[in-house]
Structure 1
Amino acid sequence: MRIKWHGHSCFSIESGGKILLTDPFDKSVGYKIPNIEPDLVTESHQHFDHNAHHLLKGNFEVIKDPGEYARLGFSIRGYLTYHDTSRGAERGTNIIFDITTPEGIRVVHLGDLGTMPENDLFEKLQEIDVLLIPVGGVYTIEPAEAKALSDKLSPRVIIPMHFKTEALKFNLAPVEKFLGYFDNYYEEREELLVYRKEELSKLKVKVIKLKY
């Protein structure tokens, strides 16, 4: 499995010869549109910085609703959550996508989660291998909340997303506010490459900041 960050909340997850892309953004966000041809696209919600699949190349299926899906060796579960602390009254709903790759590696993408999940969802999100979590606040959970949620979910690997960078054209907190809650982290790797699930438990550093 290969996970590459394309900026914001957009990752490509390559596994079993197929590519799943999460939350594609439009050109106004500031990052380059991914130059890849995905087979599957998941969208956590329908805002311009998360739903721009029309700018991608190739033929692919878009999954943008809660539910269970089995596609191209991927097992996907979408859980309905909220983009704010008012049960969606401010910014609408959000979907957490729980993705198991063909190798059996479980990747959970929290989308633009704006509030802590309810207890019944915590029970479903156990034994996560890789957690993709928003940490920039403003439109999502704040860095301190992201740390508390990371602790509660206790994944094998944490990859922050949705934070301020030089490329991003609107304001979010920088990733350093989230990283400051951890004793150490790794930030030199452009992508996370895992050949077998067992390798994740052997990683010495739990938090990995992928470079854009």
Structure 2
Amino acid sequence: MVTITWHGHACVSITLSNGYTIVIDPHDGGSLGLKPPSVKGDLILVTHTHFDHNAVEVVRKDKSRVLMEFAGESRLDNVVVKGFVTYHDKAQGRRRGKNYVYVVQAEGVRVAHLGDIGHVPSGDVLTELTGVDLLILPVGGTFTIDAREAWETVEKAKPVNAMPIHYWVRGLNLPIAPVDDFLKLVKGYEVVKLPTNTFKLEDYKGKVVVPSPP
């Protein structure tokens, strides 16, 4: 049983049936006007080192393992992590640098987190994303792909489920768009707005899952 929890902005945790927890892109809360993540990670993944994605100390345990801006493949504690170089902009990183996409495989499911990707993925990255059980992707624009580019990504990758992140919510002090701009474009998937910020991945198929802000 794999549990997905949204901790606001781009921070997502994946908790396995044995309690092992992977945290991706932690923020510190206060710098963004949000609550800090209420989770500790056995494995922490950072897609890039901008302040709103790299607050490792907030979610670290004594023996946490950290992969920061990682490209390649690594097996850690029965979890396979694949990292792919992408860009934070449409200019091959010349404006905002590189961004690392992660595909996490554990307990028979694959979960992809696109970080702050600034362009629609293609080539080997898109091939790896195709058919994942959950595609977690930014939709708020300004610093990342916008709603239309995010939906184009979903249409190309054809994940089992998708989950929008990195969009404006009450309190957030970044100039990005709300999730509704993305949800208006959704076709072929049922949009499920949850009353909580957490869900069991096995309970969903063919959904765009929108957890509540924590």
Please confirm whether the aligned pair reaches a TM-score higher than 0.5, indicating the same fold. yes
**Inter-partner Cα distance in structure 2 for 1:118 and 1:153:** 9
Do 1:33 and 1:56's aligned partners in 2 also have CA atoms closer than 8 Å? no
Q: CA deviation at 1:131?
A: 0.4
The residue number in structure 2 matching 1:210 is 211
State the one-letter code of the partner of 1:24.
Answer: P
TM-score normalised by the chain length of structure 2 = 0.91
Is the counterpart of residue 80 in structure 1 residue 81 in structure 2?
A: no
Aligned 1:19-30 pairs, distance under 5 A: 19-26=21-28, 27-30=30-33
**Inter-partner Cα distance in structure 1 for 2:171 and 2:71:** 31
Query: What is the percentage of aligned positions where both structures have the same residue?
Result: 35
Query: Which of 191, 201, 208 in structure 2 is aligned with 1:194?
Result: 201
Q: CA deviation at 1:55?
A: 2.2
Q: CA deviation at 1:127?
A: 2.1
Aligned 1:162-173 pairs, distance under 5 A: 162-173=166-177
Q: CA deviation at 1:36?
A: 2.2
**Inter-partner Cα distance in structure 2 for 1:117 and 1:88:** 14
The residue number in structure 1 matching 2:111 is 107
**Inter-partner Cα distance in structure 2 for 1:40 and 1:46:** 16
Listed one character per residue, the Cα deviations across residues 26-76 of structure 1 (whole Å, up to 9, x for unaligned) are 220122222222101000000000001122242211111212111122110
Do 1:4 and 1:12's aligned partners in 2 also have CA atoms closer than 8 Å? yes
Query: Which of 116, 122, 126 in structure 1 is aligned with 2:126?
Result: 122
Do 2:23 and 2:40's aligned partners in 1 also have CA atoms closer than 8 Å? no
**Inter-partner Cα distance in structure 2 for 1:165 and 1:130:** 22
State the one-letter code of the partner of 1:107.
Answer: V
TM-score normalised by the chain length of structure 1 = 0.92
Listed one character per residue, the Cα deviations across residues 153-209 of structure 1 (whole Å, up to 9, x for unaligned) are 0001110000000021111000000001125411124212135xxx54xx3x51110
Of residues 13-22 and 55-64 in structure 1, the stretch that sits farther from structure 2 once superposed is 55-64
The CA RMSD measured in Å over matched residues stands at: 1.4
- Unmatched runs of 5 consecutive residues or more in structure 1: none
**Inter-partner Cα distance in structure 2 for 1:118 and 1:36:** 33
The residue number in structure 1 matching 2:73 is 68
- Figure out how many residues of one structure are paired with residues of the other and give that number: 205
The residue number in structure 2 matching 1:7 is 8
Query: Which of 28, 35, 42 in structure 2 is aligned with 1:32?
Result: 35
Query: Which of 52, 55, 68 in structure 1 is aligned with 2:58?
Result: 55
Shift >6 Å, 4+ stretches: none
**Inter-partner Cα distance in structure 2 for 1:154 and 1:134:** 16
Of residues 72-81 and 48-57 in structure 1, the stretch that sits farther from structure 2 once superposed is 48-57
Do 2:27 and 2:37's aligned partners in 1 also have CA atoms closer than 8 Å? no
